[in-house]
Structure 1
Amino acid sequence: MKQWAIALLIILPFLAGAQNFEDRWTGHFSYVSIKDISQGDNKIFVGAENAVFTYDLATQQIKTYSTINGLSGNAITTIHYSDTFNLLVIGYENGLMEIIKEGEENVLKVVDILEKQTIPPDKKRINNFTEYNDKVYIATQYGISVFDLARLEFGDTYFIGDGGSQIDIVQTVVQEPYIFAASSTSGMRRALVADDNLIDYQNWTTIIGGGFRAAEKLGNELFASNRSNTILRFTPDGITSAVQNFNSEVLKFRLADNLLTITTKSSIQAYSDGFVQEAAASTVLDFDLDLLSGYGFGNNFYIGTKEDGLLIVPFGGMQATQILPNGPIRNRPYALDASPGQLWVAFGEVDIDFNPYPLSRFGISHLKDTLWNNIRYEELSAAVGGEPTDLVKVTINPEKPEEVFISSFEKGLLKIVNEEPTILYNETNSPLDRIIVTAPNGNIDNGIRIFGSEFDRQGNLWFVQTKADEGIIKLTPNGQFQKTDITDILPSPLSELALNKLAISREGNIFIGTYSNGLIGYSPTLNKFNKISDNPGAGNLPTNNVRALAFDAQNRLWIGTLKGLRVLYSPGSFFDEGTTPDSQSIIILEDGVPQELLFEQSITDIEVDGSNNKWIATATSGAFYLSPNGQETLLRFTKDNSPLPTNNVQDIAIDPFTGVVYFATTQGLVAYRGTATAPGDNLENVHAFPNPVRPGFNGNVTIDGLTAQANVKITDITGSLVFEETSQGGSVLWDTTAFGRYKVRSGVYLVLVTTEDNVETKVSKIMIIR
């Protein structure tokens, strides 16, 4: 056996179908950044950051595919549509391949490259697909793999570097009798495509050295772009010559309709046989071109932009048609807030240590009913005459839901009314002060670092400013600012990296999470402070790094930290003279062994739904849904069992009217159709769903539209009681059993609802069909 044989990669077919989650989940992914484009079947196939959409050229209809449909949610690098097999093949940064077959529900996952131990994780990126003779040649960072589209299985893999080493192949081109491989570092190589021994690196010849960005055939010639963005022509007799040089970085070569499309960062051009330019576009009305991908065919350019989605520009024209699925402005939401029928999203970026640098300049997104309105950063900045960078917290005014406040962790407090930015509160128009700080590296920072905020029952907005002596601030409904000095409880505010989350108790007391000083409480009525920490007998926190706060329906304060969960059961006594109350961990039994709930978990947010259940977001383990006392985990969502694109969940928001739960992850926004809603004022809207319950349904029936503490009884038509429960919020769930003993029979069941004070009653019906 030759020496090179030890380097062979033997890949066996490993295919798995992905689950479809459309029945309970909705994806809210951003499609503004277009990584790659393919075409076929009179459709355009568009790969965004971690989702895909199709555009039907005949009907102009858009269809999206995301984690809701079974995609992985990972970073997409390239896509290819096979007309022969009606398959869309998607390649990812981590080596995963996914295949969508038109008309079939499930996505096929191909994990061979992803899970291959002999390939380093940083060399698994899939760069490009080339289809030839029912096979796809996969250009990767380690070499070339072959995938059989007819049999949906892998064939050989070629390590074609010197000595059989792994080298980065950016693109392959089959131009009979050769297959060419363009490497980003190791030149252009070729071999006879019909050679049965292409796994032998010695059968590949280097025809020119250097590094390449892209390659494609046109007529009987091969064209490639080197790292200097010079286009080289390779003739069949081996002559190489430079034909053009671009000032902008060359990104992709694509071939369709006998046209070679070359896309650079700032332009796109199409060439016919002989490298004759047929069309070009570098200026498009209403758009500043910042490109990632492109395709030219049918007398149109299909341009993939970095921030504007897909643009269709006719050859020779300057007017663009924008194709952009409904979605937010970015795919990395940081902060959410919801009220009935709407969701606001901010995309500010601070690191785990609350460092805002480099300052992020991103817009904001507003979902109202089912439509997104995106406000670009340039619009925000122009409207308020400032720079609202690092937008890290969103707070909707519960009394005026058209009024929204967004915290900037560097520039102040942004106010939006009816989707119009109205003012950026800073040192020029408010009592907010810039705090001058010298960083350890010597840099001078003079920011206004606003974070946590919440409205009290009187309509005042309370918020916090990091590093300021007067770190607690109240903005009254008539626009007056009142500041509170915190140096009695925090003698050196400059040393504290962040006052972050803020929560207000039923009594109107203010609680603030900090980066290194535990939990601070302030009573405006008593003008008193107190705090708890991780010191023994001084609060029992698992760490002083508090990241999340939420009061539940029983006025208990749930505290999320960098290393676990605590509950303060009597926050009303927090300010009693001479006391330092201890927070408590929740102990659960796991296989009969007592365990601390969410032990050592990095908790990023806690939200309480209409049934007093708790949604808890974590940085590494997805989201948990807990019973009111935390003793039962009702649900747990991770990347493996749900459409969460990653287990890093940064924030959660709940629409109190619909019960929809929104999850902001570092790789996109998804929503779960929950069943817990806020209690109503009366029983006018009591209803059950699904109704009727049809054969095959195995879920729960939701009785919605309840008041708080309403009594719900369900009986059969003879009056026999089969279910009874008192509502915590606006809904209860019935598993269609008789007190859990057995499934009830087919028939009509009466739902009898009585308010807590017995003043109002309501009767409804549920039909069960087994």
Structure 2
Amino acid sequence: MYSVKICLFLINLLGIASFAQELGNITIYNTNNSELNYNTINCLEFDDLNRLWIGTNNGLSILNEIDNSWINIGYDILESNITTLHHNTINGMSSMFIGTMNGIKQVSWDSDELNSNIQDWDWDNNVGNACEPNNGLINTILHNNSNQIWAGSTDGLCVENLGDEGSWLIQNTENGFYSSNITKIVKSDNSDMIAIGTINGGLITYETDFNIYYSSDSGILDNTVLDVAFDQNNNIIICTPQAGIGVLTNSGSWIWFNTINSDLPTNSLQNIIIDNNNSLWITTLENGLIKYMDNNFYHYNIINSELPDNNINCMKFGPDNNLWLGTETQGLIKIDAVETSIQQLKNPSINIWPNIFDDKINIQIDQAATIYMLNLDGQIIEKYIFKAGYNNINTDKYKSGLYILIVESNNDISIKKLVKPY
């Protein structure tokens, strides 16, 4: 039988799992090898025919990857850097909302083709200008199925049709928010909840009322939220510049991942996106790309991968689950969908659940086993001896945090990371 010392050695040496740090095939588009109009990319969005809209500091580029055709709309027409993009279908017409440094533009079309004659497109250059913050620098736009436009700027939040039809609601520091600088607005796919990130104003949610999570009265550790996402379980995941990743569970508890309690390589995070396997992809402020899968972090940068730039401004999943990245200086990157190769130290005859536990951990084993519960310092907290079949561990006395559970049976070992929410 393997000893616990060997298990701890494996944990320290391998970080729970051994993996091949491969991103898959990378394709780079820049001003030298393509018709991309600028190498600094601020935002990405796909339309209903999977054309990629690319917002840059020199206007818009639109890529049809099928035939490698490009449409460019320059600064001379848009009169501003492009800061954010959002697509939706409204009354049967495709619409792209374009956030700029001086307001919101909307372009709509009802045919499959966007011809290169930009003047033929249906443009609205003054979307929501009745709401004063919409005339400034736009950071984020959401158009939901209730025909509401949510726009976040450096001057506050504007929401159309939240009250009377055609009216605009303004939310900023003058009426209850702790910050007027709105960074991101996202709606859950599974409910009507909307999550809003801010600069130094905490996390804000809205379902029927606005609810603010601030460090003085909640479990949030950083009041600056640069990006927000909902996972498949309707948990809200936030990226912060100082405290790492925060997870507000659907039960209202907070879980935090940072450089102290996990393998997260940096606490300075910028963007987050979730793939079809519920894995997290995260960009850092200056240190490349991170993937979080099966309770493990995988880090990619210009040194250990083919990424050409550690500064990634935006991400978007496209057709075939390919990941597209917009960089600060090196243009556009496409990463072909390739799963990180992982070989877990686990026995398929052992089942441990849930990964995020509250008062109980369930263990199903087909033979007698010894169970060790360790903290992240490698200290054994509890030891259990279980018979074959269903067993459980009462965890009421466990403090919030990350734990390592080791199951030894004959010559087999299973190791699993578990989390108790704050």
Q: TM-score, normalised by structure 1?
A: 0.32
Q: What is the aligned partner in structure 2 of residue 252 from structure 1?
A: 271
Counterpart contact for 1:51–1:66, Cα < 8 Å: yes
- 1:242 is displaced (CA, Å) by 0.6
- Structure 1 unmatched ranges of 5 or more: 1-27, 196-202, 319-770
C-alpha distance in structure 2 between counterparts of 1:65 and 1:259, whole Å: 35
Counterpart contact for 2:54–2:60, Cα < 8 Å: yes
Q: Which deviations, in whole Å up to 9, do the C-alpha atoms of 1:212-256 show, x marking residues without a partner?
A: 111111112110012315110111110011134452742323456
Does structure 1 residue 42 correspond to structure 2 residue 42? no
C-alpha distance in structure 2 between counterparts of 1:76 and 1:147, whole Å: 22
State the secondary structure of the residue aligned to 1:97.
strand
The RMSD of aligned alpha carbons is 3.4
Q: What is the aligned partner in structure 2 of residue 239 from structure 1?
A: 253
Structure 1 pair 275–157 and aligned structure 2 pair: CA distance change class (3 A): farther
1:59 aligned partner, one-letter code: D
Q: What is the aligned partner in structure 2 of residue 698 from structure 1?
A: none
- 1:65 is displaced (CA, Å) by 1.7
Q: Which deviations, in whole Å up to 9, do the C-alpha atoms of 1:621-658 show, x marking residues without a partner?
A: xxxxxxxxxxxxxxxxxxxxxxxxxxxxxxxxxxxxxx
Q: What is the aligned partner in structure 2 of residue 51 from structure 1?
A: 59
Structure 1 pair 62–267 and aligned structure 2 pair: CA distance change class (3 A): same
C-alpha distance in structure 2 between counterparts of 1:287 and 1:61, whole Å: 24
- 1:267 is displaced (CA, Å) by 1.9
- 1:160 is displaced (CA, Å) by 4.9
Q: What is the aligned partner in structure 1 of residue 356 from structure 2?
A: none
Q: What is the aligned partner in structure 1 of residue 372 from structure 2?
A: none
Q: What is the aligned partner in structure 2 of residue 138 from structure 1?
A: 151
Structure 1 pair 31–86 and aligned structure 2 pair: CA distance change class (3 A): same
Q: What is the aligned partner in structure 1 of residue 171 from structure 2?
A: 159
Q: What is the aligned partner in structure 2 of residue 110 from structure 1?
A: 126
Counterpart contact for 2:36–2:61, Cα < 8 Å: no
C-alpha distance in structure 1 between counterparts of 2:200 and 2:333, whole Å: 32
C-alpha distance in structure 1 between counterparts of 2:331 and 2:46, whole Å: 16
Q: 2:105 aligns with which of 98, 123, 127?
A: 98
Matches within 5 A, 1:693-708: none
1:87 aligned partner, one-letter code: S
Q: Which deviations, in whole Å up to 9, do the C-alpha atoms of 1:318-339 show, x marking residues without a partner?
A: 9xxxxxxxxxxxxxxxxxxxxx
Does structure 1 residue 287 correspond to structure 2 residue 302? no
Counterpart contact for 2:128–2:134, Cα < 8 Å: no
Structure 1 pair 316–35 and aligned structure 2 pair: CA distance change class (3 A): same
Counterpart contact for 2:160–2:169, Cα < 8 Å: no
2:312 aligned partner, one-letter code: L
Counterpart contact for 2:272–2:283, Cα < 8 Å: yes
Q: What is the aligned partner in structure 2 of residue 221 from structure 1?
A: 235
Structure 1 pair 213–229 and aligned structure 2 pair: CA distance change class (3 A): farther
Counterpart contact for 1:128–1:171, Cα < 8 Å: yes
C-alpha distance in structure 1 between counterparts of 2:279 and 2:87, whole Å: 17
Does structure 1 residue 185 correspond to structure 2 residue 206? no
C-alpha distance in structure 1 between counterparts of 2:149 and 2:212, whole Å: 22
Counterpart contact for 1:51–1:67, Cα < 8 Å: yes
Structure 1 pair 178–81 and aligned structure 2 pair: CA distance change class (3 A): closer
C-alpha distance in structure 2 between counterparts of 1:38 and 1:259, whole Å: 20
Counterpart contact for 2:106–2:127, Cα < 8 Å: no
C-alpha distance in structure 2 between counterparts of 1:261 and 1:53, whole Å: 24
Q: What is the aligned partner in structure 1 of residue 214 from structure 2?
A: 208
C-alpha distance in structure 2 between counterparts of 1:233 and 1:173, whole Å: 15
Counterpart contact for 2:184–2:227, Cα < 8 Å: yes
Q: TM-score, normalised by structure 2?
A: 0.55
**Higher relative contact order, chain-length normalized (CA < 8 Å, sep 6+):** 2
Counterpart contact for 2:42–2:83, Cα < 8 Å: yes
Q: What is the aligned partner in structure 2 of residue 498 from structure 1?
A: none
Counterpart contact for 1:261–1:296, Cα < 8 Å: no
Counterpart contact for 2:240–2:270, Cα < 8 Å: no
Q: Which deviations, in whole Å up to 9, do the C-alpha atoms of 1:689-720 show, x marking residues without a partner?
A: xxxxxxxxxxxxxxxxxxxxxxxxxxxxxxxx
Q: What is the aligned partner in structure 2 of residue 303 from structure 1?
A: 325
Structure 1 pair 216–76 and aligned structure 2 pair: CA distance change class (3 A): same
Q: What is the aligned partner in structure 2 of residue 81 from structure 1?
A: 87
Matches within 5 A, 1:549-698: none
Q: What is the aligned partner in structure 2 of residue 171 from structure 1?
A: 184
2:226 aligned partner, one-letter code: R
Identity of aligned pairs, percent?
Answer: 16
Q: What is the aligned partner in structure 2 of residue 263 from structure 1?
A: 283
Q: What is the aligned partner in structure 1 of residue 40 from structure 2?
A: 33
- Structure 2 unmatched ranges of 5 or more: 1-34, 115-119, 216-222, 259-263, 341-422
C-alpha distance in structure 1 between counterparts of 2:134 and 2:157, whole Å: 15
Counterpart contact for 1:170–1:182, Cα < 8 Å: yes
State the secondary structure of the residue aligned to 1:138.
strand
Counterpart contact for 1:167–1:185, Cα < 8 Å: no
Structure 1 pair 259–253 and aligned structure 2 pair: CA distance change class (3 A): same
Counterpart contact for 2:315–2:323, Cα < 8 Å: yes
Structure 1 pair 172–285 and aligned structure 2 pair: CA distance change class (3 A): closer
1:42 aligned partner, one-letter code: N
Matches within 5 A, 1:505-584: none
- 1:66 is displaced (CA, Å) by 2.1
- 1:177 is displaced (CA, Å) by 4.3
Matches within 5 A, 1:2-17: none
- 1:188 is displaced (CA, Å) by 1.2
C-alpha distance in structure 1 between counterparts of 2:172 and 2:333, whole Å: 38
Counterpart contact for 2:288–2:309, Cα < 8 Å: no
C-alpha distance in structure 2 between counterparts of 1:120 and 1:107, whole Å: 17
Structure 1 pair 83–267 and aligned structure 2 pair: CA distance change class (3 A): farther
